[in-house]
Amino acid sequence: MSRRLRSDRPPIGILVLAGLAVVFFALPFAGLLWRAPWSDLVDVVREDAVRRALWLSIQTSVLATLVAIVIGVPLAWVLARVDFPFRNFVRALATLSMVLPPVVGGVALFFSFGRRGLFGQYLYDWFGIRLPFTTAGVVLAQSFVAMPFLVLTVESAFRQFDVRYEDAARSLGARRWYAFRHITIPSIRPAIIAGVVLAWARALGEFGATITFAGNLPGTTQTMPLATYIALESDPGAALILSIVLIVVSFGVLIGLRDRWLGNPHEVTRS
Amino acid sequence: MTLSAVIRATRGNFRLDVSFDVADGETLAVLGPNGAGKSTILRCLLGLVPLDTGRIVLGDHVLEDTTNNLYVEPENRRVGAVFQDYLLFRHLSVIDNVAFGLRARGAKKESARLTARAHLERFEVEHLADRRPSQLSGGEAQRVALARALAVDPKVLLLDEPLAALDVTTRRTVRDELSLFLSAFGGPRLIVTHDPADARRLADRVLIVEHGSVVQHGSILDVMRDPATPYVAALFGDDA
Amino acid sequence: MRIPKPRRLLVVAAIGLLCACSGSPDRTTLNVFAAASLSNAFTDIETVFEVEHPDVDVVLNLAPSSALATQISEGAPAHVFASADEANMNRVADLMVDSATIFATNRLQIVTEAGNPLGIETLADLADPSVLFVTSAVEVPIGRYTAEVLTRAELTVRPVSLEESVKGIVTKVSTGEADAGIVYATDAAAAHPRVTSVNIADEFNVIARYPIAALSTSDAATRFVTFIRSDEGQAILREFGFGSP
């Protein structure tokens, strides 16, 4: 009996290191919760500016995630399935914004889509479309930094997916799109969910590109991260409360991420 | 309907050049060493690999003809297949696997399931209808794969190493069952295998392929009596 | 004990690195927190002061006064604080060694893209809804002063963005992203010719008053504050366009 227990328990060294990692993540939040002016919580949360920032953050991050899905999944598919020249270059390009400091992304967006930007000037002169200082600009900035997370995760999933299942589906009479929708996508669902959540989380927390490109105006472009940063300059107590609100919202979504959505490691695959 | 194929295809630096016919009710076994191109033949018949030159005709339906630039997509070929490893869709239950082809062609969920259940009964596995593929034994999975392929009423049946995934003890029983099921299928049948026992038990004729070309074809007896290459001799040679 | 050659080199290098990192043992570090609008002037002042007081190493921290005040109240090691307005100086009142003194003044000006393509001439022109106007939040000095000016002119102007500091306003306007902004005259002068300045009528303009205070009893801090208020320091400030206190 005891022999079986010993072989089932994870090695102690791994547990210790994993424990360190958990502590590493928990300590900053502990500090935050300890310093927060809890008595002011209700007042700060009730403030219009806070409500608007939170609502704006949710709207823009969801929209940005949708953009990432609509054009990111096809890109992931092409990168995984189509052998074309300069594929590595394209992949590097698609993930570049993930590696760069967000401010650099913001500067790039600024000088290409700003009113006097390379493309922005035509958008403005011909169509009257202005992106900086608008909510659309916020969504653009967030999509730009968040999409790579989704592309990488989903591309990896497509690569690992056995194409022969699609072949089987086609031999049974399914057209390519039908097979894709009913066989491929459900099979890589855990990866898609992970990619979507990562992209959304990144979009929600986006700051550098947003403040540089879209600007900062309550209700239009002042998302929660911006509001928190600005508050920090004059009223650290409010900044703490805002941080906590953002943490609660994000944590709530992440904790809803069920194990089974991410794939069950104990499912034995039979051939 | 007779299946008539002239296949010339390239995959990387591998060239395949074969031609053969299979009549209704006839089972042709395609034998050959690994890398001979056997699976490629199946993929060409299914339409998954386009021909360089050649023709694939089923009765009077032309599935592919390079001289006339004709190509029918895999989903419209009515060529059924049981794949190596069976490739049952893991996220669907057994009955939904069998119903898949019907639903892909437009059938409503309930009517597709009814037809699927009938096919499961034919193979005596309707009690597994709500199980997941991961919960099936090798023999059960093969029956479900057969049911799935036949549920859409194909005109030709292809089998790729249908017994390779099974252990030796179950292989014999399943081979006998497979023989029965195959004889109940009216159209031409093609089995790819590396095991001469499969050929002996299941096939009427054999087609031996080495390095992408046909080295011998004919009845098993003919081939056994007069092997064209050392490989063929070894296949059927030491045999009681 | 003979230390082998390569190891000796390593030891020497390590000691040298340590010396470089900790600075010369006889130099005192003086942390000066100064408002963003003082950037150019204080950089010059730093150079001149260090020449005259070689025993002091001035380290400048330039940022919006509101951010600096927060950092100081959270415990940042500042020895001198030069703010762009009195409100932010008052936030660190309990840390001041002596009461703060005004050392410079500044006036406000409208800035537009180089060449003033929209032909903005008065404050009232800013109220036009098609004009993209940027300012800062009222916690930042320039934001507060701008609000005051607009109130005096009885104008409502909706900004499209609240920039973090006066430098941000200059950037948005000079790149053509925004049509106009209100900044200090010193910043307008410094950004010329990338921006065009438009004067604000005296009756509406405000005088920005810059206080400075020592937050440490150290001799270096006192000397720095004295320098700022001396003729020499004031001359430098005048060069950049600051008014007398």
Of B102, B122, B152, at which residue does a domain stop? B152
Read off φ and ψ for residue C153, nearest 5 degrees: -85, 0
The pLDDT of residue B240: 40
Does one domain contain both C10 and C95?
yes
Q: Which residues of chain A neighbour B43 with C-beta distances below 8 Å?
A: 167
If asked whether residues B123 and B232 sit together in one domain, one would say no
- The pLDDT mean for chain B works out to 89
State the burial class of residue A155 (Cβ atoms within 10 Å of its Cβ: 0-12, 13-18, 19+): buried
B160 and B129 belong to one structural domain? no
**Residue B196 placed within a domain:** yes
- pLDDT of A56-69, one tens digit each? 999 999 999 999 99
pLDDT of residue B184: 86
Using the Cβ of B50 and the Cβ atoms of chain A, whether some distance falls under 8 Å is answered with no
Contact yes or no for B101 and A170 at CB 8 A: no
Residue B73 sits at the chain A interface (C-beta within 8 Å): yes
Residues of chain A positioned with their CB less than 8 A from the CB of B81: 168, 171
Q: Do B100 and A182 touch (CB under 8 A)?
A: yes
C161 shares contact with chain A (CB less than 8 Å): yes
Would residue C244 count as lying in a domain? no
Do A66 and A73 form a contact (C-beta atoms < 8 A)? no
Q: Is B230 contained in some domain?
A: yes
| Domain extents in chain A | 40-257
Q: Inform me whether the C-beta atom of residue C77 falls under 8 Å from chain A C-beta atoms.
A: no
Tell me which chains share at least 3 CB pairs under 8 Å with chain C: A
Residues B148, B204, single domain; the answer is no
Say whether residue C131 is in contact with chain A using an 8 A CB cutoff: no
Q: What is the DSSP string of B1-68?
A: --EEEEEEEEETTEEEEEEEEE-TT-EEEEE--TTSSHHHHHHHHHTSS--SEEEEEETTEEEEETTT
Domain A40-257 top-level CATH class: mainly alpha
CATH of the domain at C156: 3.40.190.10
When pLDDT is averaged across residues B212-237 and rounded to a whole number, the result is: 84
Amino acid in the structure at residue A48:
D
Q: Strand B70-71's sheet: what is its strand order? A: B70-71, B61-65, B53-58, B3-11, B14-22, B213-219, B205-210, B27-31, B189-193, B156-160, B79-82
Q: Is B69 on the interface with A (CB under 8 A)?
A: no
Q: Are residues B190 and B177 in the same domain?
A: yes
Task: Give the residue with greater pLDDT, C64 vs A257.
Answer: C64
- Tell me, yes or no, whether B47 lies in a domain: yes
What are the structure tokens assigned to C95, written together?
A: 């840390």
Among candidates A235, A207, A232, A241, which has minimal Cα distance to A221? A207
Q: Please check whether residue B85 lies inside any domain of the structure.
A: no
The DSSP bridge partners found for residue C159 are C133
Do the domain assignments include residue B137? yes
> Model confidence over C103-131: pLDDT tens digits?
999 999 999 998 888 888 888 889 888 89
Q: Tell me how many domains chain C contains.
A: 2
On whether residue B83 sits in a domain, the answer given is no
B128 and B144 inside one domain: yes
Both tokens of residue C18?
């340590």
Same domain, C134 and C65: no
Residues C26 and C49 in one domain: yes
| Residues C156, C89 within the same domain | no
- Domain residues for the domain of B110 are 92-152
C25 vs C14: CA distance, rounded Å: 17
Contact B146, B189 (CB under 8 A): no
Using the 8-state DSSP alphabet, how is residue B238 labeled?
S
Last residue of a domain, one of B152, B184, B201: B152
**Residue B238 banded pLDDT, cuts 50, 70, 90:** low
The pLDDT score that the predictor gives to residue A254 is 79
Note whether C192 and C213 are same-domain residues: no
Q: Are residues B123 and B172 in the same domain?
A: no
Identify whether residues C200 and C214 lie together within a single domain.
no
Nearest C-alpha in A relative to B163: A271
Residue C14 has pLDDT above 70, yes or no: no
How many Å apart are CA A74 and CA A72, to the nearest integer? 6
CATH number for position B20: 3.40.50.300
Domain hosting C177: range is 107-207
Q: What values do phi and psi take at C56, rounded to 5? A: -115, 135
On whether any CB of chain A is under 8 Å from the CB of B162, the answer is no
The verdict on residue B17 lying in a domain is yes
Mutate to test the interface with A, among C138, C157, C177, C179 (most CBs of A within 10 A): C177
Domain presence at residue C245: no
Both tokens of C75, joined, read 């415990």
Q: Which helix (H) or strand (E) holds C207?
A: strand C207-214
Q: Are residues C83 and C143 in the same domain?
A: no
Is this complex's ipTM strictly greater than 0.85?
yes
Kindly give, in sequence order, each residue whose CB lies less than 8 Å from that of residue C88, ignoring residues fewer than 6 positions away.
C65, C66, C68, C69, C139, C141
Q: Are residue B16 and residue B121 in the same domain, yes or no?
A: no
Has residue C51 been placed in a domain? yes
Share of chain B above pLDDT 70, in %: 98
Does any CB of chain A come closer than 8 Å to the CB of residue C118?
no
Distances (CA, A) of A108 to A101, A117, A229, C237: 11, 9, 22, 35
Considering only the beta carbons, identify the residue of C66, C159, C176 that sits closest to A233: C66
Q: What is the pLDDT of residue A271?
A: 32
Total tally of structural domains belonging to chain B: 2
Domain boundary among B109, B135, B152: B152
| Alpha-carbon torsion (B6, B8, B11, B13), positive or negative | positive
- Chain A residues lying within 8 Å of B39, measured CB to CB: none
Choose the closest CB to B80 out of A171, A267, A268: A171
In Å, how far is C176's CA from the nearest CA of chain A? 6
Question: Is A in contact with C (3 or more beta carbon pairs below 8 Å)?
Answer: yes
pTM higher than 0.90, yes or no? no
Residues B189, B215, single domain; the answer is yes
Name the residue with higher pLDDT: B235 or B155.
Answer: B155
CA distance B81 to chain A (A): 7
Whether there are 3 or more C-beta pairs closer than 8 Å between B and C is no
B87 domain-assigned: no
Distance CA B99, CA B42 (A): 23
Decide if C59 touches A, using CB distance below 8 A.
Answer: no
Higher-scoring residue by pLDDT: B179, A43: B179
State the average pLDDT over residues C30-47: 93
Instruction: Report how far residue C18's alpha carbon sits from residue C174's, in angstroms, rounded to the nearest whole number.
Output: 43
pLDDT lower than 70: segments of chain A: 1-7, 257-271
How many C-beta neighbours within 10 Å does residue A138 have? 32
**Domain co-membership, C21 together with C89:** yes
Percent of chain C with pLDDT over 70: 90
